[in-house]
């Protein structure tokens, strides 16, 4: 049985449910959970929030912010102050529910953290919406590799916000991909892909929820395949890759023209 470690974004919306499904299956062989900032790339949390405000506009941004603050408050009260894990409002609370150690606000490529992983005998890492790059030393010391779950059907839609872009571009299907990590973003051979249909009136929230549900299933399937040994791999063909970043106003107009809303 592989000794696993989970890298996951500090997102209170969908990721607590994904982590709960994962740890329900693998808590006894998971050495820890590393919680990473919601900030994307080199952006600060403030810059990420500002970029999202410019993209979403006031109405959706304030709805999302209120939902975020409510979840944070409920997590503080129910999970932290009362110590209850009957409903987990954060990924930290989910880890506590299953008795799994948590690290937070650390550079996963630092020698101190690499040593932390070696001491726990970690030989396989699962990244779920992680926001850090995983450098050569980390990849090389992880004997069975690092897998990442991306919310699109790679090699298409590499980069940021794949759920938005599939809707803006009028795609008929979306999906999730679990792939091995290499030196390039969203690169590396594919272990599992899951597909779902997109409908003309799907909202962004609809698609993100569907994507995260499938992500949990795909990650569990991937882990089982890797543990069984020599998983069948699919090519993540870089020549067919498309790359996306933060949308512009023109992209938002196209998203709406296709009949979609944020919520």
Q: Same structural domain for residues 5 and 114?
A: yes
Q: What pLDDT is stored for residue 41 in this prediction?
A: 58
With bands split at pLDDT 50, 70 and 90, how would you rate the model's confidence at 56?
confident
Structure confidence by residue, pLDDT tens digits, 181-200: 999 999 999 999 999 999 99
Q: Same structural domain for residues 6 and 114?
A: yes
CATH code where residue 157 lies: 3.40.50.170
Q: Is there a contact between 120 and 142 (Cβ–Cβ < 8 Å)?
A: no
Residue 102's contacts (CB-CB under 8 Å, 6 or more residues apart) are 32, 33, 34, 35, 92, 95, 96
Average pLDDT over residues 101-113: 95
Q: Same structural domain for residues 173 and 129?
A: no
124, β-bridge pairs: 4
The residue that leads in pLDDT, 58 or 39, is 58
Give the end of a domain, one of 111, 144, 177: 144
194, β-bridge pairs: 176
Structure confidence by residue, pLDDT tens digits, 159-168: 999 999 999 9
Q: Same structural domain for residues 119 and 227?
A: no
Q: How many domains does the chain divide into?
A: 2
| Model confidence, pTM | 0.93
Tell me the backbone φ, ψ of residue 12, rounded to 5 degrees: -85, 0
Residue 11's contacts (CB-CB under 8 Å, 6 or more residues apart) are 38, 91, 129
With bands split at pLDDT 50, 70 and 90, how would you rate the model's confidence at 49?
confident
Q: How far apart are CA 109 and CA 218, in angstroms?
A: 26
Q: Same structural domain for residues 197 and 233?
A: yes
Q: Same structural domain for residues 3 and 124?
A: yes
Range of the domain at 167: 147-263
Q: Same structural domain for residues 114 and 202?
A: no
């Amino acid at each position: 049985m592989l000794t696993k470690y989970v890298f996951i974004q500090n997102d209170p919306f969908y990721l607590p449910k994904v982590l709960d499904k994962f740890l329900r299956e693998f808590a006894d062989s998971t050495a820890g959970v590393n919680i990473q900032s919601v900030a994307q790339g080199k952006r600060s949390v403030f810059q990420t929030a500002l970029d999202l405000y410019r993209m979403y506009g006031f109405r959706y941004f304030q709805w999302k912010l209120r939902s975020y603050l409510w979840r944070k408050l409920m997590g503080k009260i129910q999970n932290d102050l009362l110590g209850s894990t009957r409903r987990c409002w954060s990924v930290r609370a989910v880890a506590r529910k299953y008795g799994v150690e948590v690290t937070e606000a650390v550079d996963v490529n630092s020698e101190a953290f690499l040593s932390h992983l070696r001491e726990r005998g970690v030989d396989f890492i699962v990244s779920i919406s992680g926001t850090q790059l995983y450098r050569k030393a980390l990849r090389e010391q992880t004997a069975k590799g690092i897998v990442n779950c991306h919310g699109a059907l790679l090699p298409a839609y590499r980069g940021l916000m794949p759920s938005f872009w599939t809707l803006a571009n009028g795609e008929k299907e979306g999906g999730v991909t679990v792939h091995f990590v290499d030196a390039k973003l969203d690169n590396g051979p594919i272990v599992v892909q899951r597909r779902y249909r997109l409908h003309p009136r799907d909202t962004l929230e609809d698609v993100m929820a569907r994507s995260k549900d499938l992500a949990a299933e795909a990650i569990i399937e991937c882990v089982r395949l890797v543990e069984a040994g020599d998983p069948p791999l699919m090519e993540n063909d870089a020549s067919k890759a498309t790359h996306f970043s933060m949308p512009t106003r023109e992209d938002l107009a196209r998203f709406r023209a296709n009949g979609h809303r944020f919520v």
